[in-house]
Structure 1
Amino acid sequence: MKSIIIASTSTLHGGKYLEYILPALKSHFKNCKTILFIPYARPSGISHEEYTQKAAEAFNAIDIEVKGIHEFKDPQEAVKNAEGIFTGGGNTFLLVTQLYKNNVMQLLSETVKNGTPYLGSSAGSNICGLSMQTTNDMPIIYPPSFQTLGLIPFNLNPHYLDPDLQSKHMGETRETRIKEFHAFNSIPVLGLREGSWLEVKGDKITLKGDLSARLFKQNQEAQELEPETDLSNLN
């Protein structure tokens, strides 16, 4: 049975890395002594080792050890043998490129679908959808495909921001960009605000956190979805 947490972000303003979601993670990874961390999304400023250490410090609070996928000679074996998996944030284009380069995109999808508990945040959440095409990230590298894990039957827009009505900025809003996506694609898109996440248990998908999420469908008005909304039938 699938067991997945898909978080908009890893860090809330004023909080520590993963702090706000640790109670949920303690239950989510309750049968794991060690989890595999995938740091592929970080393009610069922090090494895979440093990024893994950051994750390790957070999980230390709930007595779980963290090992980076880069520490293993064979990334595929690392994924196959993982008790649990966490993919961190960064740049989604880079993350997807690296997953394909290391031949773990399909394997990761199959592993999580077969029941290995998974956590994604930001870029690690973007890849849970059908494609990465609704990411906010710049295309700093060109991946072999935009197709991602397909763990849920829709796309995500993590870090979703509402328009600031007091701002004089005349550029595109997140809503505008998602509508542009829907000019060519029919996949629903869920805008996840900071501090919100999805809990996936088998075929059931539930919105969690304190804030509503914004749902976009092609040729329809956007909807506000309150916490605890069941999204299992969204496709």
Structure 2
Amino acid sequence: MDLLLLSNSTNHGEPRLAHARDALRELYDDREVLFVPYALADHESYTGVTAEAFAEAGLRLRGVHSFADPAAALASAEAVFVGGGNSFRLLRAARRLGLLDAIRAAVRGGARYGGASAGTNLACPTIRTTNDMPIVEPGGFDALGLVVFQINAHYLEHSPGSTHMGETRAERIGEFLEENDVPVLGLREGSWLRVGPQEGVHLYGRDAVLFRRGADPRELPAGSDLSADLSGPARFDEPA
């Protein structure tokens, strides 16, 4: 597998995907990329702005919603990019359209997979560590399982001096770990992972935070090799 998992698609004050153009070029090279736009409601507009961003990187992109059979198109794709938005809406559409098995088959056959935010969540075993509101019922939380760990995209620390009384992001991840023995990587905005058979799991862009059950959160600098930290079986709670 060859994966590019972005925390976010847009950094403050920058054009869409500008921070990851080199990484996108390296991943996709001259392949036509099939774009999965189902995390947002307006598929056509979403595909348009994403195609413009890919063109800035010298890449070709086509929305999979334009195919008569999106699942068949994805199953034979050479390259896939799944956009951000609402993870629950994305997963519901992926289930209804049969895209999960199609994407898995393509990636196992050598297709390159990229995702941002919700698209990165979809690459994990489940979407249980998303920040999104469950605006729809997705029919279960199991996702693609292209990696064996969970990711929290857009990871953000609690601001010192804040009077907000809700749970911090770290506290929510801690609650997840009380029920599931699975590593969670908090990807700050501007960071991304490359996952591949040769390089393992590497962190780029910015630093990140690794959460494990029974251990203090650990800061990881950009450039870290996380292959040893993010391996092994994932153990989730069983449905009631």
Give me the TM-score of the superposition, normalised by structure 1: 0.94
CA shift, 1:113, in A, is: 2.9
C-alpha separation in 2, matches of 1:183 and 1:161: 20
Summarize deviations over 1:168-216 as a string: whole Å, max 9, x none.
Answer: 112110000001111111111000000000001126110111x211011
Residue identity in the other structure for 2:181: S
CA shift, 1:153, in A, is: 1.1
Q: Which of 151, 155, 178 is equivalent to 1:160?
A: 155
CA shift, 1:83, in A, is: 2.3
**Does the aligned pair in 1 maintain the 2:78–2:110 contact within 8 Å?**
no
**Does the aligned pair in 2 maintain the 1:113–1:151 contact within 8 Å?**
no
Residue number in structure 2 paired with 1:18? 17
CA shift, 1:217, in A, is: 0.7
The alignment-based identity, stated in percent, is 42
Matched, 1:58 2:58: no
**Does the aligned pair in 2 maintain the 1:39–1:87 contact within 8 Å?**
yes
Aligned length: 229
C-alpha separation in 1, matches of 2:55 and 2:168: 38
Residue number in structure 2 paired with 1:111? 106
C-alpha separation in 1, matches of 2:57 and 2:210: 33
Matched, 1:36 2:56: no
* Unpaired stretches in structure 1, ≥5 consecutive residues: none
CA shift, 1:16, in A, is: 0.5
C-alpha separation in 1, matches of 2:218 and 2:108: 28
Residue number in structure 1 paired with 2:117? 122
Residue identity in the other structure for 2:28: F
Residue number in structure 2 paired with 1:90? 85
C-alpha separation in 1, matches of 2:37 and 2:108: 21
Summarize deviations over 1:86-128 as a string: whole Å, max 9, x none.
Answer: 1000000000010000011122123113321111000000111
CA shift, 1:151, in A, is: 1.1
* Unpaired stretches in structure 2, ≥5 consecutive residues: 232-240
Residue number in structure 2 paired with 1:147? 142
Summarize deviations over 1:142-161 as a string: whole Å, max 9, x none.
Answer: 11221111111100000000
Residue identity in the other structure for 1:217: R
Give me the TM-score of the superposition, normalised by structure 2: 0.92
Residue number in structure 2 paired with 1:208? 204
RMSD between superposed Cα atoms in Å: 1.2
